[in-house]
Structure 1
Amino acid sequence: MTVRSKQPWYWQWFVALLLILFGYLVGYWQFTGGDYIGLIQSVNSLLRDNQQLEARTVYRERQLQVERAAQQSLADELAALQDENMELKSEVAFYRGILNENSATGELKLHSFKINKGKLPDQYEYHVLLIQSGRHERAVQGDLKFGLAALQNGEEVSLPLMDGIVAIEPVKVNFKYYQRIDGSFVLPPGISKPSVTLALTEKGQKEPKIRQKLDLPK
């Protein structure tokens, strides 16, 4: 008859715990020996792909910047060409107006009257272009006078156009084809809603042949 000693209950739990730990170690070894290495390789591959993607993205962004710069340059060039084309058309119209001989006699015209802001405060520049279209058998002679219309203390007033010190004298006009008149003036203080008046009176005449009024640019 064999007598077996009965093991304590906690010993059985200890054996079970050893078996569980052994299984965990085996699984961890498999994971670190196989799947883990594959996972690391996958991560490295993804990192390489990401770096390549970032490089392509940076390259594409630079391409887009170059394309945008080229497009802006083309747009600026096109705008400059359009402005130049408008100027050429204006010049063509100007010379055609001068050379137009449909009229039996010469016809005096105000081709353009422009006012631009000057470099100093309250300073402005004026540009006038007079032409004679049709036949140019006689010269146009006369006086071109400038004036200033404005509101002062709530009332309309007519003032001489000043160059900053003295009044601008009438400009002598004498031409067969065209004449340009350029100059500058300064606004006096205490006025509002100013505009420049222009009047051209031919020699021997009492009434102006041409009158024009132009508001100042803001």
Structure 2
Amino acid sequence: MLLAMLAWGMYEAGKRTAGAVDAASLATLSEPYHVATCLQKKRSELCTQLAELTRQFQIVQTTNEDLARQTRSLSKENNRLKEELDFFEHVMTGNTKIDNGVSIHQFNLKKDAQPGVYRYSVSMVQGGQRPKDFNGSLKFFVNLQQNDQRKTVLLTNKNAEKSFSISFKFYHRIEESFKIPPDTIVESMKVQVFEQGDSQVKLTQTAEPS
């Protein structure tokens, strides 16, 4: 009799537990499915991923720009050192004669790899026994052709000044660049050398682009 009562009790308890589980499952399934909520969640996740990818892209882009600037700077410095080394080697071997006073050793104008950009450089030397420091300035004029019209433009330095100050004893070199508008042709470039306190041109030389 006792065993029968225990069996009956376990049966009833099982029925109540099953009923509770079924009711809970039905209650969950009966909750409405909100499409807007789901889309909002997905959109938030996508926005987070997009923001992270954008940040990583900006980092890579900044790094590439920095590397490009460093490469251009190193290339410019390398060209300067090579030219100076070549000059002094020629002087030491006697292949290059330096006249007394100040003179223009080299003046070059080259088209850069960047569209519309031109690079120019001028090297100056001073010979003679125990020369004093030469103090003066340079002016650069670019002869352009645009829309079948010719004009001359006076370049400015980084401080928007129309003359480039120089001071040296034996050797001095300047390398800079400028950019021209589209549909413009650079025909030639002229450099003028002025001694400090003198408005008269001391030296002048013209270069064509190469």
Provide the TM-score with structure 1 as the length reference.
0.49
| Cα distance change of structure 1 residues 210 and 117 upon mapping to structure 2, 3 Å threshold | same
User: C-alpha distance in 2, partners of 1:198/1:114?
Assistant: 10
Identity %: 26
User: C-alpha distance in 1, partners of 2:181/2:159?
Assistant: 11
Matched residue SS, 2:189: strand
- Pick which of 108-117 and 145-154 moved more: 145-154
User: C-alpha distance in 2, partners of 1:137/1:91?
Assistant: 17
Work out whether 1:154 is the aligned partner of 2:148: yes
After TM superposition, give the deviation of residue 193 of structure 1 in Å. 4.7
Question: Where does residue 167 of structure 2 map in the other structure?
Answer: 174
Question: Where does residue 92 of structure 1 map in the other structure?
Answer: 89
CA RMSD of superposed structures (Å):
3.3
| Paired residue total | 127
After TM superposition, give the deviation of residue 144 of structure 1 in Å. 0.7
After TM superposition, give the deviation of residue 175 of structure 1 in Å. 0.7
After TM superposition, give the deviation of residue 107 of structure 1 in Å. 0.8
Question: Where does residue 22 of structure 2 map in the other structure?
Answer: none
User: C-alpha distance in 2, partners of 1:94/1:116?
Assistant: 25
After TM superposition, give the deviation of residue 125 of structure 1 in Å. 1.4
After TM superposition, give the deviation of residue 153 of structure 1 in Å. 3.7
After TM superposition, give the deviation of residue 169 of structure 1 in Å. 4.1
Work out whether 1:192 is the aligned partner of 2:185: yes
> Is the CA contact (8 Å cut-off) linking 1:151 and 1:193 kept in structure 2?
yes
Matched residue SS, 1:209: strand
User: C-alpha distance in 2, partners of 1:172/1:162?
Assistant: 11
The one of 128, 138, 141 aligned to 1:144: 138
Matched residue SS, 1:206: coil
The letter of the residue matching 1:188 is P
Work out whether 1:124 is the aligned partner of 2:118: yes
Question: Where does residue 205 of structure 1 map in the other structure?
Answer: 198
> Is the CA contact (8 Å cut-off) linking 1:162 and 1:185 kept in structure 2?
no
- Gapped runs of 5+ residues in structure 2? 1-83
The letter of the residue matching 2:181 is P
The letter of the residue matching 1:160 is L
| Cα distance change of structure 1 residues 97 and 181 upon mapping to structure 2, 3 Å threshold | farther
Provide the TM-score with structure 2 as the length reference.
0.50
- Gapped runs of 5+ residues in structure 1? 1-86
> Is the CA contact (8 Å cut-off) linking 1:98 and 1:134 kept in structure 2?
no
| Cα distance change of structure 1 residues 193 and 89 upon mapping to structure 2, 3 Å threshold | closer
| Cα distance change of structure 1 residues 119 and 169 upon mapping to structure 2, 3 Å threshold | farther
- Pick which of 116-125 and 153-162 moved more: 153-162
Matched residue SS, 2:201: coil
Q: Which has the larger radius of gyration?
A: 1
Question: Where does residue 216 of structure 1 map in the other structure?
Answer: 209
User: C-alpha distance in 2, partners of 1:98/1:204?
Assistant: 30
> Is the CA contact (8 Å cut-off) linking 1:99 and 1:134 kept in structure 2?
no
After TM superposition, give the deviation of residue 156 of structure 1 in Å. 2.8
